[in-house]
Structure 1
């Protein structure tokens, strides 16, 4: 495993990053450390720490979990998917020459 994540926090996997966010927020909220100090110790931007504290205050620790990107809307609707499955399962290529 390369150490790219040491210089770029965006490369830290989801679960460890969630833990880091919760640890940072706990340090600020419960232990009364300054966000600047926490950001400096963790090697992150202080704006990130302030953003995490704001999310925590709004929705609790669950708001700090890493979330998957929503992605694009599927092009095949449920109706088309049902039709396609019925055609594929009921027909064979020899039916069409």
Structure 2
């Protein structure tokens, strides 16, 4: 996997998830597909396969660059800025 400067800027330890699902999807009655955890603040959002793409929306609103899969058995991370699996 590639490295980017944003990984080195992440808080340690990893932030606790703020929820166990995408709250934005729940609020509008949508079903989230594949959850993502923001590694800067703990926001949980749905992925780009979901109709509303709340994880990407969170990045666009906050600039929080790195998220990881919040799915059981997955631990990969994605940097929105560098478009890299990190």
TM-score category by the smaller chain?
under 0.3
Q: Which has the higher strand share?
A: 2
Higher relative contact order (CA closer than 8 Å, sequence separation 6+): 2
